[in-house]
């Protein structure tokens, strides 16, 4: 072997030694103690590929579940090149969430910093990285609470929230089918944008924001096919299509800047909303630069709609398969309507707070949702737990799904069982139910989220029926998704007029029939019938009992013609303007109603069989 060969041999040994050392150091990171068990995976990418493998189940993601079974409730790994400790230990997680600013700091994936650049936010252009803004969290959280917290809901938001749900359901009932996630996202996005900033978004804007939200929860792998890659593509096209919410040092958010300038120039347009609070705060708080304010507005709007829409979608998926839960909801909301002091009034705060079973349904939906990979914190000093050491600078992922789907805490955790919440201890709930995080950084929108879902369910359950059309596939990748969507058909329930008439028409005195019909039509449907309408309805009621001989001259043939007239009358009532709809159509009959001993519908709603016939 010549000198060149020896040199090449030595170089190869050096390279192999260096690679071996790097691999060893990767697999055995420096630690002033003993690291939790686990594997760091391959150099640079770690176990990211395994983490991103999608799962078609509502259960704990396989990546986390298999490692908990192998290593225990706390294990180490590496994701997207970062050292990570994943915890499903309720006691340790509860402790960590109380240590904000002491042992840990708020942190999220670098995807957040890349998609919405939080550097250079100070008024003098100084660098302000994401992890240094924790000191302003309390200020911003109090601002959000003042806008959408429990007190704001009680004093002013609840009626607008109810009106929004009513209008959405009326519109949806006219469609052949709809994707629940897409439809609810649009409604909530529009409502929140108007509530916080006083503007009405363009059509389909919620879809673009939903994609960005998924990108923020994804790991920053900028390769074709990943969610983050798609999100970056949308972001790069944002300059032309959706210059609405993002601004960094080079590009301003045109719409938000215009809104700010308009509010500054015209104080008389003061609405007292979040935008006004931002502008008032800019007079005294140095961190509230235009750049930061725009991005704060963007982030709050982004967080407000996707969780609610996902929760509602999941709830409806389970309710579709759980008729007993629906019956219990109907019972609760019928009781609310029965006890309402003002029949034409809307939902009151007292009524909302009385929705005990509805809130159990909301909690059960949130328990099973687990939309993101987990709650993230970064250790700012070494943390010792159960004989292990989590080094300073490591990321801690609190696995919500492993807590909220833990069979040791929840019996049959994959079963949708709202009744379980009646017997859960408060300490168990505090440590094993954290859909909104915990500690000082608990989500300020928790009450808003629960209220919207509850109000929506109140009107859906009270006035509508629905059926599944297609879809409903659950996909975690690792963000929760619904495959090709979950499509349903919503129908307005014909209220007590038909069922009441079926009972009242048994009276022999025709004069009594006319009086009762007119009174019932006014009471239940809010309209004054034309002359002889009651006689027509009576004819139809009698002939529904005849055999279906659809030939000219037959009684059933005449009945079908009258039925078309009756159907048109009901549809005309349903599509009345919003004010009349909310005031009149929403009334219901009270009390059990039997029709000829064969057809029964509770509290004034017509039976499914007759409802289907009315919509044929």
- Integer angstrom CA distances of residue 336 from 262, 345, 359, 452, 602: 43, 12, 14, 17, 15
Among 365, 577, 522, 523, residue whose Cα is nearest residue 454: 365
Which token pair is 454? 């509850």
Per the CB < 8 A criterion, the answer to whether 215 and 115 are in contact is: yes
Nearest to 604 by CA among 581, 588, 615, 586: 588
Contact 488, 467 (CB under 8 A): yes
Beta strands in 93-159 (DSSP E): 104-106
**165 assigned binding-site residue:** no
In sequence order, what are the residues at sequence separation of 6 or more whose Cβ sits closer than 8 angstroms to the Cβ of residue 428? 409
- Residue 83: its H or E element: strand 82-87
Strands (E), 433-518: 464-471, 475-476, 480-481, 486-492
Residue 104 Cα to chain centre, angstroms:
28
Phi, psi of 173 (to 5 degrees): -70, -15
Query: E-assigned strands of 380-449?
Result: 383-385, 388-390, 395-398
Residue 326: both structure tokens together: 């629906």
Q: Measured between alpha carbons, how far is 150 from 324 in angstroms, rounded to an integer? A: 30
What single string gives the DSSP state of each residue in 445-465? THHHHHHHHHHHHHHHHHHEE
Q: Rounded to a whole number, what is the distance in angstroms from the first to the last CA of the chain?
A: 92
Q: What's phi and psi for 274, nearest 5 deg?
A: -65, -35
CA pair distance 116, 431, nearest whole angstrom: 32
Binding-site residue positions: 443
Q: Which residues line the annotated binding site for heme?
A: 443
């Amino acid at each position: 072997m010549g000198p060149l060969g020896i040199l090449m041999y030595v170089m190869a040994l050096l390279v192999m030694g260096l690679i071996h050392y790097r691999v060893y150091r990767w697999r055995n990171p420096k630690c002033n103690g003993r690291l939790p068990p686990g594997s760091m995976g391959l150099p640079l990418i770690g176990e990211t590929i395994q983490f991103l493998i999608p799962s078609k189940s509502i259960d704990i993601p396989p990546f986390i579940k298999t490692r908990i079974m192998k290593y225990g409730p706390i294990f180490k790994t590496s994701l997207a090149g970062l050292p990570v400790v994943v915890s499903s230990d309720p006691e340790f997680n509860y402790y960590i969430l109380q240590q904000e600013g002491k042992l840990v700091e708020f942190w999220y994936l670098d995807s957040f910093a890349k998609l919405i650049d939080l550097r250079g936010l100070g008024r003098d252009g100084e660098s302000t990285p994401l992890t240094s803004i924790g000191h302003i969290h309390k200020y911003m959280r109090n601002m959000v609470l003042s806008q959408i917290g429990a007190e704001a809901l009680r004093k002013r938001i609840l009626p607008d929230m109810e009106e929004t749900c009513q209008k959405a359901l009326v519109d949806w009932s006219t469609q052949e089918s709809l994707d629940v996630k897409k439809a609810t996202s649009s409604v909530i996005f529009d409502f929140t944008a108007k509530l916080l900033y006083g503007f009405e978004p363009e059509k389909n804007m919620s879809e673009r924001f939903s994609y960005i939200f998924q990108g923020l929860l994804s790991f920053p792998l900028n390769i074709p096919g990943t969610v983050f890659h798609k999100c970056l593509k949308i972001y790069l096209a944002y300059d032309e299509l959706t210059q609405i919410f993002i601004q960094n040092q080079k590009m301003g958010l045109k719409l938000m800047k215009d809104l700010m300038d308009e509010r500054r120039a015209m104080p008389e347009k003061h609405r007292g909303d979040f935008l006004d609070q931002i502008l008032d705060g800019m007079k005294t708080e140095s961190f509230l630069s235009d750049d930061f304010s725009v991005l704060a507005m963007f982030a709050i709007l982004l967080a407000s709609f996707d969780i609610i829409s996902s929760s509602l979608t999941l709830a409806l998926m389970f309710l579709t398969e759980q008729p007993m839960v629906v019956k219990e909801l109907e019972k609760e909301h019928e009781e609310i309507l029965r006890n309402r002091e003002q029949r034409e009034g809307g939902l009151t705060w007292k009524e909302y707070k009385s929705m005990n079973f509805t809130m159990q349904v909301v909690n059960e939906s949130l328990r099973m949702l687990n939309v993101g990979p987990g709650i993230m914190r970064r250790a700012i000093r070494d943390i010792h737990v159960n004989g292990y050491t989590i080094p300073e600078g490591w990321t801690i992922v609190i696995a919500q799904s492993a807590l909220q789907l833990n069979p040791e805490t929840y019996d049959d955790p994959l079963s949708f069982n709202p009744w379980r919440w009646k017997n859960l201890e408060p300490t168990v709930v505090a440590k094993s139910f954290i859909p909104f995080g915990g500690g000082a950084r608990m989500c300020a929108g928790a009450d808003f989220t629960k209220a919207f879902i509850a109000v929506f369910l109140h009107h859906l359950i009270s006035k509508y029926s629905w059926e599944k059309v297609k879809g409903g596939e659950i996909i975690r990748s690792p963000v929760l998704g619904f495959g090709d969507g979950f499509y349903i058909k919503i129908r307005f329930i014909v209220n007590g007029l038909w069922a009441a008439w079926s009972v009242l028409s048994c009276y022999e005195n025709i004069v009594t029939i006319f009086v009762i019909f007119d009174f019932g039509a006014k009471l239940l449907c809010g309209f004054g019938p034309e002359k002889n309408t009651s006689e027509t309805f009576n004819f139809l009621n009698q002939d529904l009992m005849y055999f279906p001989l659809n030939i000219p001259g037959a009684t059933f043939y005449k009945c079908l013609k009258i039925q078309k007239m009756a159907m048109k009358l009901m549809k005309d009532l349903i599509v009345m303007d919003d004010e009349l709809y909310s005031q009149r159509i929403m009334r219901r009959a009270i009390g059990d109603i039997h029709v000829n001993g064969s057809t029964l519908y509770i509290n004034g709603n017509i039976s499914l069989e007759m409802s289907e016939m009315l919509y044929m």
